[in-house]
């Protein structure tokens, strides 16, 4: 292993003013020593680049990549690996051999990094530096450095299996071990075996380098380690666990704002609902104290691009930003000015149960690696402070890291992509971490039931290939395909777009506001269920010219509705240009829409048991209607189906549609048949 070590100066971390005056926090040092860097944002960009740790060792990095086909780059947070490495490759002339491609796990990471690199080069995005993310692209024929999400690279592998247009591929933030990350790394191993000229860089701040070194041991590979630019970080824990970490986070924000010096605050929460609740509570604090020196901003994945970029803009003079974010802000994204980090200690993860064939979204405690990653956001430009809303004893009990996503999620979409790439035997495919065989079997059974593969495991024509080409989960892809022949494709595209964003119904923090929101929701609710209710909401939104006032009146989330509108337009373009899908409307025939939903989600059907709970037809699990569902307060229908299960105190069904029993045998006769017992 080659290790490039910087020589840091050593400083004792600052004494925390808030921590010394609060009774419920104790303090410890997260970083005993740190590289001291006096950032000067008034310096020219070239001078700022030279002060990054990676700059000093650019020759060694380029030499190792020149002599080896695979470079595993362990660069700590702040080292500059995400922005500087592609520029070094460009300056050395690698772009003349092909595009320099860099993948990111999230849209916003790819967009912001491309903007940063373009700015450093004195250009606008779309010239020599561009990006491609789902439904958004800024590239040109001159683009030599391309940032993209991992899903985009997977799509490119479908059309160009050897990536002949590329000279270097950089897989950034590989430590997250997303499902697509592991698929791509497995596919890239085949590419580097077939194309000795292509170079591969696997980069991360907390990567398990030895795992990937063993995986690529047959290839010419090397591990490089570069220390990052991390300032001293003081870490504070709660003395006692808190009952509500959202409220505790908001209270901690307010105390930091009142007692601490300059610097913005970044708060990590688990999902959009918690983020919006925290923003609302903070605004209540600001209003009740008549304090205009604090600005609360949300940050989550389904937020529109324009709204996401607001967190990067400097606030007015004398105003402090507080950003409430999901794990989207853990890696790659550096929000300028952040000095204080508040970590709730939890994260949302998908977990697949092969016995019940359900992919459940569960809130679980974070891992130590995630906690370290979140803490690293505080020490990017100056000494920072981290407030963990859990005890130090609880931190010691956390796992070192989570299992890779490929070992804990539903695999049907992954298998569909691999089948489209010509991988016939999934079990023999070389994964960095092989998935459980029972999960693979469950996914193959699901795809066979959906008609995407035949009894020999090959993609069917045209349905299987259609589903593989669509950037959607298999059930949604089948639903869109069936809508063409059933004459309701326009409605299905709307429903699919609405399912891609989080809830469109606002959830006020006050009790009176919640009552008004519930009453307003009744204007759209129908007995057929949540998906038809979503369709009604979107239709009314468009008929009212996408008005913010309309959303305020009916307690709707304007951001999410606007995002759904943009996604719908992109889906229509995709359907017209590539898939030859006929765009038809059923003109309000609700039964046709419900039948089309049933034709795709029949695996998720449930019936009302005589005990008063719902039983899933496949598996027989006890299921319950989610309290936020349209059907929660209505008489219970006999047969329903759902798009997602949420596991909290019970297994709750969300996005429910009411169906008729005979539709199951009519639309999925290969799977269901009626019998007399």
Cα–chain-centroid distance for residue 342? 20
Cβ contacts of residue 587 below 8 Å, gap of 6+? none
Tokens of 545: 């010219």
Q: What angle do CA 580, 585, 671 make, to 5 degrees?
A: 75
Q: What pLDDT is recorded for position 585? A: 92
Residue pair 19/27 in contact (Cβ under 8 Å)? The answer is yes
A 10 A CB-CB count for 357 gives 21
Which residues is 556 bridged to in the sheet? 505
Cβ contacts of residue 229 below 8 Å, gap of 6+? 35, 37, 52, 53, 76, 78, 79, 80, 380
Task: Measure the CA–CA gap between 647 and 46, rounded to whole angstroms.
Answer: 50
Q: Which helix (H) or strand (E) holds 250?
A: helix 245-259
Task: Measure the CA–CA gap between 202 and 176, rounded to whole angstroms.
Answer: 12
Q: How far is CA 28 from CA 252, 344, 386, 391, 410, in A?
A: 18, 17, 10, 12, 40
How many CA atoms, within 13 angstroms, populate the side-chain half-sphere of residue 268? Answer: 30
Residue pair 199/65 in contact (Cβ under 8 Å)? The answer is yes
Cβ contacts of residue 201 below 8 Å, gap of 6+? 65, 70, 71, 72, 73, 85, 168, 169, 170, 171
Residue pair 386/341 in contact (Cβ under 8 Å)? The answer is yes
A 10 A CB-CB count for 579 gives 16
What burial class does residue 141 get, using C-beta atoms within 10 Å of its C-beta: 0-12 exposed, 13-18 middle, 19+ buried? exposed
Asked if domains 11-29+230-405 and 45-226 share a fold, the reply is: yes
Task: Measure the CA–CA gap between 58 and 61, rounded to whole angstroms.
Answer: 5
Q: In what order do the strands lie in the sheet with 614-616?
A: 346-353, 358-365, 644-647, 651-654, 622-625, 614-616, 605-608, 639-641, 657-658
Task: Measure the CA–CA gap between 222 and 200, rounded to whole angstroms.
Answer: 11
Instruction: State the angle between helix axes of 590-601 and 474-486 in degrees (0 to 180), rounded to the nearest 10.
Output: 140
- For the chain, first and last CA: distance in Å? 67
Cis peptide leading into residue 462 (ω within 30°): yes
What three-state secondary structure class fits 95? helix
How many CA atoms, within 13 angstroms, populate the side-chain half-sphere of residue 511? Answer: 0
Task: Measure the CA–CA gap between 470 and 413, rounded to whole angstroms.
Answer: 10
Secondary structure (DSSP) of 160-223: -TT-TTEEEEEE-SGGG--HHHHHHHHHHHHHHHH-TT-EEEEEESS--HHHHHHHTTTS-EEE
**CATH number belonging to domain 11-29+230-405:** 3.40.50.300
Helix (H), strand (E) counts: the chain: 25, 25
In terms of Cα–Cα distance, which of 209, 152, 190, 175 is closest to 82? 175
Which residues is 202 bridged to in the sheet? 72, 171
Instruction: State phi, psi for 280 to the nearest 5 degrees.
Output: -65, -45
Locate the domains of the chain by residue range: 11-29+230-405, 45-226, 470-666
Q: What pLDDT is recorded for position 310? A: 82
Task: Measure the CA–CA gap between 226 and 233, rounded to whole angstroms.
Answer: 19
**CATH number belonging to domain 45-226:** 3.40.50.300
Residue holding tokens 């034709």?
A: 599
Residue holding tokens 């002339």?
A: 93
Cα–chain-centroid distance for residue 166? 26
Tokens of 518: 């519930």
Q: What pLDDT is recorded for position 77? A: 63
Task: Measure the CA–CA gap between 234 and 232, rounded to whole angstroms.
Answer: 7
* Averaged pLDDT, groups of 10, the chain, 677 residues long: 30 30 35 30 62 78 88 77 89 92 88 90 91 87 93 88 94 83 90 92 75 77 74 90 93 92 92 87 89 88 68 86 82 75 90 73 86 82 90 92 86 89 85 88 91 92 89 92 93 94 77 85 94 96 92 89 90 78 89 96 93 89 91 92 83 93 89 66
Q: What pLDDT is recorded for position 554? A: 93
Secondary structure (DSSP) of 359-413: EEEEEEEPPHHHHHHHHGGGGSSS-EEEEESS-HHHHHHS-SSPPPGGGSS--HH
Q: Strand 199-204 vs strand 221-226: parallel, antiparallel, or unpaired? A: unpaired
A 10 A CB-CB count for 378 gives 30
Task: Measure the CA–CA gap between 426 and 414, rounded to whole angstroms.
Answer: 10
Cβ contacts of residue 32 below 8 Å, gap of 6+? none
- Given CA atoms 202, 152, 370, 79 in this order, what sign does their dihedral have? positive
């Amino acid at each position: 292993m080659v290790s490039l070590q910087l020589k840091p100066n050593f400083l004792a971390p600052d004494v925390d003013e808030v921590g010394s005056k609060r009774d419920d926090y104790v303090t410890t040092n997260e970083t005993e020593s740190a590289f001291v860097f006096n950032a000067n944002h008034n310096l020219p960009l070239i001078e700022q680049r030279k002060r990054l740790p990676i700059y000093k060792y650019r020759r060694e990095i380029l030499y190792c990549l020149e002599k080896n086909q695979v470079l595993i780059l362990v660069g700590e947070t702040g080292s500059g690996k995400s922005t500087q490495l592609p520029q070094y490759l460009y300056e050395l002339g690698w772009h003349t051999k092909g595009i320099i491609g860099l993948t990111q796990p999230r849209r916003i990471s790819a967009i912001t990094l491309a903007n940063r690199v373009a700015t450093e080069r004195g250009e606008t995005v779309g010239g020599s530096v561009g990006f491609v993310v789902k439904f958004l692209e800024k590239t040109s024929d001159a683009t030599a450095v391309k940032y993209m999400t991992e899903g985009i690279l997977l799509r490119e592998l479908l059309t160009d299996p050897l990536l002949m247009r590329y000279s270097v591929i950089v897989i950034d933030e590989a430590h997250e071990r997303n499902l697509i990350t592991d698929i791509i790394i497995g596919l890239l191993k085949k590419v580097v075996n077939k194309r000795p000229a292509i170079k591969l860089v696997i980069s991360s701040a907390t990567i398990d380098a030895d795992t990937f070194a063993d995986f690529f041991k047959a290839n010419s590979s090397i591990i490089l380690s570069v220390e990052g630019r991390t300032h001293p970080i003081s870490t504070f824990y709660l003395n006692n666990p808190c009952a509500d970490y959202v409220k505790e986070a908001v209270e901690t924000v307010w105390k930091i704002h009142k007692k601490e010096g300059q610097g913005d605050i970044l708060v990590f929460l688990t999902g959009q609902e918690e983020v919006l609740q925290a923003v609302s509570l903070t605004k209540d604090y600001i209003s009740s104290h008549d304090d205009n020196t604090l600005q609360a901003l949300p940050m989550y994945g389904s937020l529109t691009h324009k709204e996401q970029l607001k967190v990067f803009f400097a606030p007015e003079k004398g105003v402090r930003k507080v950003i409430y974010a999901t794990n989207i802000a853990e890696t790659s994204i550096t929000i300028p000015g952040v000095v204080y980090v508040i970590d709730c200690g939890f994260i949302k993860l998908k977990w697949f149960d092969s016995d019940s064939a359900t992919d459940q979204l569960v809130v679980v405690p974070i891992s130590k690696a995630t906690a370290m990653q979140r803490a690293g956001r505080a020490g990017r430009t100056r000494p920072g402070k981290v407030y963990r809303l859990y005890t130090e004893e609880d931190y010691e009990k956390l796992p070192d890291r989570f299992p890779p996503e490929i070992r804990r999620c539903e695999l049907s979409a992954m298998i569909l992509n691999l089948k489209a790439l010509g991988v016939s035997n999934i079990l023999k495919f070389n994964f960095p971490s092989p998935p459980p065989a029972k999960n693979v079997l469950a996914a193959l059974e699901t795809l066979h039931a959906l008609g995407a593969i035949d009894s020999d495991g090959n993609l069917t024509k045209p349905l299987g290939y259609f589903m593989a080409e669509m950037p959607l989960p298999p059930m949604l892809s089948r639903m869109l395909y069936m809508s063409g022949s059933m004459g309701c494709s326009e409605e299905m595209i709307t429903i699919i777009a609405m399912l891609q964003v989080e809830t469109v119904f606002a959830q006020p923090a006050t009790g009176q506001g919640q009552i008004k929101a519930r009453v307003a929701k009744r204007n759209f609710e129908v007995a057929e269920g949540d998906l038809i209710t979503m369709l009604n909401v979107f239709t009314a939104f468009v008929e009212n010219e996408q008005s913010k006032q309309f959303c305020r009146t009916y307690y709707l989330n304007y951001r999410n509705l606007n995002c759904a509108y943009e996604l719908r337009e992109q889906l229509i373009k995709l359907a017209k240009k590539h898939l030859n899908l006929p765009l038809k409307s059923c003109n309000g025939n609700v039964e046709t829409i419900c039948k089309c939903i049933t034709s795709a989600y029949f695996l998720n059907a449930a019936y009302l048991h005589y005990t008063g709970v719902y039983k899933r037809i496949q598996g027989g699990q006890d299921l319950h209607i989610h309290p936020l569902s349209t059907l929660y307060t209505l008489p219970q229908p006999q047969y329903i189906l759902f798009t997602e299960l949420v596991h909290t105190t019970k297994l709750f069904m969300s996005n429910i549609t009411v169906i008729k029993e005979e539709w199951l045998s009519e639309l999925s006769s290969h799977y269901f048949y009626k019998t007399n017992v």
